[in-house]
Structure 1
Amino acid sequence: MSGVIYLQPGREKSLKRKHPWIFSKAIKKVKGNPGLGDTVSVYDADGKFLAIAAYSPQSQIRARVWSFDENTIVDTDFFYNRLKQALSLRDYVIEEGGLTGFRLCAAESDRLPGITIDKFDNYLVCQLLSAGAERHKGELVQALIRLFPGFNVYERSDVDVRKKEGLEPITGVLHGSAPTEPVKIVENGLALEVDILGGHKTGFYLDQRDSRNALSRFSKGKTVLNCFSYTGTFSLYALKAGCEKVTNVDVSESALAIAKRNVEHNNLDLSKVDFIKQDVFKLLREYRENGVKFDTIVMDPPKFADSKAQLTGACRGYKDINMIAMQILKPGGTLLTFSCSGLMEQNLFQKVVADAALDAGRELRIMERLNQAPDHPIAGEYPEGFYLKGLICKVL
């Protein structure tokens, strides 16, 4: 171990409940001179062992727990065993959906803090957000090579949150080679193109798989508006279900180009799809002014709140965009609306959508709740892992 952490009296309660974070204010003293990502032992104020953790001297989350077993050694075997368990938990999801793309590791929810890994065909795309993950990158890659022989490993740690850990954004090949042509995965019988090198996050939103499936039930013979469409996967489910027309709206020209190719990859009717490069807020207002109406609307915006200070503004944003969406829905139409902001709790999101209905002058019936797909599990001791909230609403 590179050092030892002693907690303030009474600040061990969360660790005894197996929560993996230790905040800076909970620490009484640090012995030794642990550096960025070094492994430390954690003790309570009375000197009783609590955990083995990765130290991050610049972050408010000063340490993230690797294990609550003091005999743990954080090495290649450690990562291999954790990843092997994570894979086995997902077996039924992979088999049921015929998936060649899925989330292999969901960071703290799979007891590997700061480590997100998505599998896309024969590529493993890693996003490393913590000092400990960065410190043990080599061992992690070796574990992945052992678990998936012959696969390529690519890093997409190009996110600003790394700066809170004293880390710079970084991308690149960790093993094998970078893709020279579009990577494709299969999801519920649909072929999907994934932009590993330049797409959002790791290249694709695997967490919305179940929500995309849900859209199928509200698409046959319907006009569908897919807002913040990215690479258009929701629209593929609508087309497959027999929609009359689906409109994809996004500000990214490259994402819309992939959306068009995805329609072609699946031999679906391109004449039933529109691709519009425009700001969603602006286009919705234009639709409202021109009296354009839809049967079904998918509202899947990017994260509006990264911190508690931004939550009030995020609520206004969610309220405004859902209000306009309801105003352009036909009576009895269906709204599938989402928030991927972890700080936006389920009940708060539901209240925001209900307030939007009042302002829109429409009656709202929440028919179902949607959440992240099961390859994005939520550890019982880590409620922060529950981030994606969705509602299927009938708007009268």
Structure 2
Amino acid sequence: MRNFAKFFITPKGERAARNGHPWVFGEEVTKVEGSYTNGDLVDVVTNKGKYLGTGFVNDKSKIRVRIISTNTNDKFDEAFWERRLRYALEYRRTVMGEQDFKCCRLIFGEADQFPGLTVDRFNDLIVTQTLSLGIELRKEMLFNLLIKILQEMGENIRGLFERNDVKIRLLEGMEEGKAWFATPLLPNHGPMTTEIVENGIKYTVDVENGQKTGFFLDQKYNRQAVAKIAKGKHVLDCFTHTGSFALNAAQGGAASVTAVDISAEAVRMADHNAKINGYDHVMKGLEANVFDLLSELFNNHSHAYDFIILDPPAFTKSGSTVKNAIRGYKEINLKAMKLLPRGGYLATCSCSHFMKEELFVEMLKDAARDANVSLRQIEARQQSPDHPILWNVPETYYLKFYIFQVV
């Protein structure tokens, strides 16, 4: 006997749900039958009462219900969640392979039917970020199950660190914070840093203070694509963060690599990573504003670089700021195209879901027209498959990545 509250929704919401989109927005709810508490499971039904799915409710959120199942026979017990976790982990082991499974995203929110949950693995440490109340209320069970499954797989995990220091939690009625997850399964978690190996390159990852969860895993195979064409090139890696693209270029045989970031701490970390990999003779960090640096190089008629990499932070995190973001993306791409010699190479990307692929492509065409160059496409890529794209959930597709020769 189901005793969940029923949420009746509009025809528009019904169409989205039937097409497989897991979000029901507040304005799409027309009527509620039954009692509930925020974080509970509730049933979503059509205006005629026909079942559409079951999900977590939160009246404090714009997304009022996050659907997790469309099967009326599902019992949302521990066995249900264990099956779903195993499914996600087995997918990663298959698509990433044994080696890359040690350093990848294990849970990617809605794409794995864990709304608002991110789980990253960095060698022997797990880092989580919980952005929905329904998951928050069940995290003790989920995290203990996750650790148990990984240990059964023979994976060495010494600690799970929660990175919940994000303002979006406040909008969901939760507190911000970061701390070790206390569990008898992992009694001695040790330090907050660990060493990972990605594409044969070593990095020190600080799970407490690094950006997001400590390291950006989604560009893993895009970095390999850069390494493939870097041999003998003089490379300028813009927005370098921990130096990952720069290091892959160095590993690919670049003649020289300049790794630029506005953050002194990022430059320090990039230099550190260059040193521990033995590339400090080829790669140098530079603390600078990328916009200013590209202008300065162009104005000085610099011919120092024949391969430029643009991996900026998300210039837009909402639909309302897309126009400003397009201007920002165009500015750096236009400057890079003007700076490169004919026959030079450009790797460029956007990590914002709101910067749709067609907008990004149009911006690149505009920049090339204004720079009076042609773009010869070498590769068009996306996020790595541990960040799977669900075609019925467009929000899961966010990373656009292109490599061109500028001719």
> Do they superpose with TM above 0.5?
yes
Q: Name 2:154's counterpart in structure 1.
A: none
Letter in 2 for 1:121: N
Q: Distance in 2 between matches of 1:147 and 1:273?
A: 40
Shift, 1:98, TM fit = 4.3
Match of 2:252 in 1: 241
Tell me, in whole angstroms, the C-alpha distance in 2 between the residues paired with 1:220 and 1:256. 23
Q: Find the counterpart in structure 2 of residue 283 from structure 1.
A: 293
CA distance in 1, matches of 2:158, 2:39: 27
Q: Secondary structure at 1:282's aligned position in 2?
A: helix
The equivalent of 2:94 in structure 1 is 92
User: Residue 72 of structure 1 aligns with which residue?
Assistant: 74
Q: Give the match for residue 120 of structure 2.
A: 118
1:174 maps to which residue?
Answer: 181
- Deviation of residue 99 (structure 1)? 4.7
Aligned match of 1:271: 281
- Distance apart, 1:206 and its partner CA: 0.4
Letter in 2 for 1:183: T
Q: Provide structure 2 residue ranges, at least 5 long, that are not aligned to the other structure.
A: 152-156
Q: Distance in 2 between matches of 1:264 and 1:77?
A: 47
* 1:74-120 deviation digits (Å, cap 9, x = unpaired): 34333322121111112234327545210101111111111110011
Residues 38-84 of structure 1 show CA distances to partners (whole Å, capped at 9, x for unaligned) of 21111111112211100010222111011112233334333322121
> Is the partner of 1:207 in helix, strand or coil?
coil
Is the contact between residue 284 and residue 325 of structure 1 (CA under 8 Å) also seen in structure 2? yes
The residue identity in structure 1 corresponding to 2:287 is K
Deviation of 1:378 after TM superposition, in Å, equals 1.0
The answer as to whether partners of 1:304 and 1:341 remain within 8 angstroms in 2 is yes
Q: For the residues of structure 2 that align with 1:99 and 1:13, how far apart are their CA atoms?
A: 37
Query: In structure 2, do the counterparts of structure 1 residues 356 and 225 end up closer, same or farther at CA, with 3 Å as the change threshold?
Result: same
Taking only the aligned residue pairs, the percentage that are identical comes to: 38
Q: Is the 8 A contact 1:116 1:128 kept in 2?
A: yes
- Matching residue of 2:211: 200
Report the Cα distance in structure 2 between the residues aligned to 1:2 and 1:251, rounded to whole angstroms. Answer: 51
Partner of 1:30: 32
Tell me if structure 2 keeps the 8 A contact 1:35–1:57.
no
Of 309-318 and 353-362, deviating more is 353-362
Alignment check: 8 A CA contact 2:126 2:159 kept: yes
Counterpart residue identity of residue 52, structure 1: T
Task: Give the C-alpha shift of residue 9 in structure 1.
Answer: 4.2
Gaps of 5+ in 1: none
* Structure 1: distance between partners of 2:242 and 2:141: 33
TM-score (norm 2): 0.92
Q: Which residue of 1 aligns with 2:321?
A: 310
> Is the aligned partner of 1:319 residue 2:330?
yes
Q: Which residue number in structure 2 is paired with residue 292 of structure 1?
A: 302
Aligned-partner Cα distance in 2 for 1:219–1:77: 49
Counterpart contact for 1:76–1:142, Cα < 8 Å: no
In the aligned structure 2, how far is the partner of 1:342 from the partner of 1:314?
12
Indicate the SS of the match to 1:148.
helix
Deviation at 1:381, TM superposition (A): 2.1
Instruction: Name the stretch that deviates more: 196-205 or 12-21.
Output: 12-21
Assess, with a 3 A threshold, how the Cα gap between structure 1 residues 98 and 306 changes in structure 2: closer, same or farther.
closer
Could you tell me which of 15, 18, 22 is aligned with 2:17?
A: 15
Q: Please give the per-residue CA displacement for 1:179-216, whole angstroms capped at 9, x wherever unaligned.
A: 52631111122222212111111111100011100001
Q: CA RMSD in A?
A: 1.8
Q: Which residue type is aligned with residue 73 of structure 1?
A: K
1:147 to 146, 149, 161: 149
Counterpart in 1 of 2:387?
376
What secondary structure, in the 3-state scheme, does the structure 2 residue paired with 1:194 have?
A: strand
- Give the superposition deviation at 1:292: 2.0
Of 27-36 and 232-241, more deviation after overlay is shown by 27-36
Q: After TM superposition, give the deviation of residue 135 of structure 1 in Å.
A: 2.0
Q: Give me the whole-angstrom Cα distance separating, in 2, the residues matched to 1:21 and 1:181.
A: 35
Deviates more, 1:229-238 or 1:250-259: 250-259
d(CA) in 2 for partners of 1:90 and 1:244? 35
Q: Secondary structure at the match of 1:69?
A: coil
Matched, 1:256 2:283: no
Judged with a 3 Å threshold, the aligned counterparts in structure 2 of structure 1 residues 220 and 253 are, in CA distance, closer, same or farther, namely same
**Mean Cα deviation higher: 204-213 or 84-93:** 84-93
Instruction: Identify the range of structure 1 (360-369 vs 207-216) with the bigger mean alpha-carbon deviation.
Output: 360-369
Q: SS where residue 343 of structure 2 aligns?
A: strand
Are 1:301 and 2:312 an aligned pair?
yes
Give yes or no for contact 1:371–1:388 (8 Å, CA) kept in 2. Answer: yes
Amino acid at match of 2:91: L
SS at match of 2:64: strand
Bigger CA drift: 316-325 or 380-389? 380-389
User: For 2:338 and 2:360, how far apart are their aligned partners in 1?
Assistant: 19
Deviations 1:362-386 (A, max 9, x none): 2222332110011111123212211
Q: TM-score, normalised by structure 1?
A: 0.95
The one-letter amino acid paired with 2:271 is K
Aligned residue type for 1:285? S
Question: How many residues align structurally?
Answer: 395
